[in-house]
């Protein structure tokens, strides 16, 4: 999958371009750029960076997207300009993901191609940051000695200063890997695709030890940002025109435990911010969800959206134990039942892994049955692949690839049936939609999201971007709703 610029019909794109599927989880790839590169060029306060043309490519989850946007903000403050065409760039910056082998393979492919270009353009700067840089920075430096800068997940707030050191002539590859967790980005306002939507990282790292997951080893233990810092950033974003924020955390439900506070208190503090219309958060963990959260979501329901992303991963207790997920199928169902009772109308997204070590046909059928019972609005479904350095690396990868493919397809088909059924049930309803902008495929239509994150297309003009409008749903597909403005 290669990243392409947003079509010309999209007015003033900024920030992260994403592919044509929903990027709630790992596996996305996109470019970050500004619609008007000249707007930031020529600032003299940071002559080592001012005027640098940057092409920033992001792989991975929404936390990676947030990191890219914030690093872009740091560079933008120093006068860098972002370009959609990598051929026009002075700096190629790859923000990497290690959660799946496929994401790492794509990064290696990009670096292999850049080796050829670097040979012909020795002045081109190449930088690698993010999870792969944290996990295997020394390996990247040895395999790709033409890379100029390698920055781990816990030094991203220093990226601009590190780039200046490279510009000053520091020996390369300059390797910046730190083991100290950090949530620092100061008061930088991110450079983002939509002027009306933004991410805010409220925690970094993870204290869970799911056996298949590399995140605790690339991002370190969980660290929360103080409530006042988060509220201040949300206020700056709202003043910059943001209508919707999404709070990010690897396990969002444990936000604040290290500070003596909690997620629902943060939601209460964010609720009064003027200009802020919608608040979302991801990703939830069934072991950590509390009834207080569901009650707060309901009480603050004019701004806190009734949607939760809570991975199940498997419907088999035996597989969940091998994954070290910390809950059973019964506990997962109990949490969902409580959420639906205490926050009426809440909708669910989930994640599933098929083909994990030792998964039998019966184990998979338990996952199939759980999805059928839950009826999630959407799901991300992955075929298991062994990640180096995780506890599961010691377990046999004993499910044949063909079986993984069949199980993957069966869950996808079931989710498509559920999504189509639910979307068709929306026909005739009036939904409040936050308009994101013109459709990428049809410039006569607008695209937006309902309160429960369902995608809606309807006729309209670009001046409605950022507005909350009522839309009557007239038809539906498995992927989206079609409507007309009331």
Domain positions in the chain are 14-176, 430-485
Say yes or no: do domains 14-176 and 430-485 share a fold: no
The reported pLDDT for the residue numbered 39 is 36
Fold of 430-485: OB fold (Dihydrolipoamide Acetyltransferase, E2P) (2.40.50)
Peptide bond into 173 cis (omega under 30): yes
Superfamily of domain 14-176: Methylthiotransferase, N-terminal domain (3.40.50.12160)
Q: What tokens were used for 385? A: 């692949």
Half-sphere exposure in the Cβ direction for 381 (13 Å, CA): 22
Residues in the chain, pLDDT under 50: 1-44
Cross-strand pairs, 55: 92
**Strands of 278-429, DSSP E:** 278-282, 307-309, 347-354, 378-383
Q: Is 301 exposed, middle or buried (0-12, 13-18, 19+ CB in 10 A)?
A: middle
The reported pLDDT for the residue numbered 242 is 95
Cross-strand pairs, 472: 430, 484
pLDDT > 70: percent of the chain = 88
The residue written with tokens 């189509």 in the block is: 420
pLDDT digits (tens, 9 = 90+) for 142-169: 999 999 999 988 888 889 999 999 999 9
The reported pLDDT for the residue numbered 104 is 86
The reported pLDDT for the residue numbered 190 is 66
The reported pLDDT for the residue numbered 21 is 29
Q: Are 390 and 214 in contact (CB under 8 A)?
A: yes
**What pTM does this model have?**
0.82
3-state SS of the chain: helix, strand, coil percent to 5? 35, 20, 40
The set of residues, in sequence order, having a beta carbon less than 8 Å from that of 196 and lying 6+ positions away, is: 241, 242, 243, 244, 434, 436, 465, 466
The reported pLDDT for the residue numbered 48 is 86
Q: Find the length of the chain.
A: 486
Instruction: Read off the DSSP letter of residue 486.
Output: -
The reported pLDDT for the residue numbered 304 is 98
Instruction: Read off the DSSP letter of residue 184.
Output: -
């Amino acid at each position: 999958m290669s990243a392409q610029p947003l079509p010309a019909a999209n007015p003033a794109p900024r920030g992260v371009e994403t592919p044509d599927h929903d990027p709630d989880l790992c596996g996305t790839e996109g470019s970050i750029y500004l619609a008007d590169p000249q707007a930031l060029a020529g600032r003299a306060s940071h002559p080592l960076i001012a005027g640098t043309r940057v092409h920033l490519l992001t792989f991975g989850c929404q936390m990676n997207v947030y990191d890219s946007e914030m690093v872009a903000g740091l560079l933008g403050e120093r006068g860098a300009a972002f370009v959609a065409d990598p051929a026009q760039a002075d700096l190629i910056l790859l923000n990497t993901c290690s959660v799946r082998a496929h994401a790492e393979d794509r990064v290696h492919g990009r670096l292999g191609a850049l080796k050829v270009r670097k040979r012909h353009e020795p002045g081109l700067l190449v930088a690698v940051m993010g999870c792969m840089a944290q996990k295997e920075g020394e390996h990247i430096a040895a395999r790709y000695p033409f890379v100029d800068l390698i920055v781990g997940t816990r030094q991203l707030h220093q990226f601009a200063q590190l780039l200046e050191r490279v510009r000053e002539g520091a020996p390369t590859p300059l390797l910046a890997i730190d083991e100290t967790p950090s949530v620092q980005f100061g008061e930088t306002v991110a450079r983002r695709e939509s002027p009306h939507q933004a991410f805010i990282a409220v925690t970094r790292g993870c204290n869970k030890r799911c056996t298949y997951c590399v995140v605790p080893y690339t991002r370190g233990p969980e660290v929360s940002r103080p409530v006042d810092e988060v509220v201040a950033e949300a206020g700056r974003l709202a003043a910059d025109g943001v209508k919707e924020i999404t709070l990010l955390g690897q396990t969002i439900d444990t936000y604040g435990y290290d500070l003596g506070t909690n997620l629902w208190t943060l939601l209460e503090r964010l609720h009064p911010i003027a200009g802020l219309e919608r608040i979302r958060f991801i990703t939830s963990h069934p072991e950590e969800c509390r009834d207080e959260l569901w009650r707060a979501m309901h009480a603050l329901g004019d701004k806190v959206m009734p949607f939760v992303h809570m991975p199940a991963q498997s419907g088999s207790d035996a597989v969940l134990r091998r994954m070290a997920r910390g809950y059973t199928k019964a506990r997962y169902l109990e949490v969902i039942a409580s959420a639906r009772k205490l926050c009426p109308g809440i909708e669910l997204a989930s994640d599933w892994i098929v083909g994990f070590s030792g998964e039998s046909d019966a184990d998979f059928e338990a996952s199939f049955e759980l999805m059928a019972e839950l009826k999630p609005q959407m799901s991300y479904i992955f075929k298991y692949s062994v990640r180096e350095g995780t506890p599961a690396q010691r377990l046999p990868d004993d499910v044949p690839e063909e079986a993984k493919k069949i199980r993957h397809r069966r869950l996808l088909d079931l989710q498509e049936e559920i999504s189509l059924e639910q979307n068709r049930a929306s026909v005739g309803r009036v939904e409040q939609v936050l308009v994101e902008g013109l459709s990428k495929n049809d410039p006569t239509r607008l695209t937006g999201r309902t309160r429960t994150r369902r995608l809606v297309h309807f006729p309209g003009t670009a001046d409605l971007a950022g507005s909350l409008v009522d839309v009557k749903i007239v038809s539906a597909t498995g992927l989206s709703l079609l409507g007309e403005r009331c």
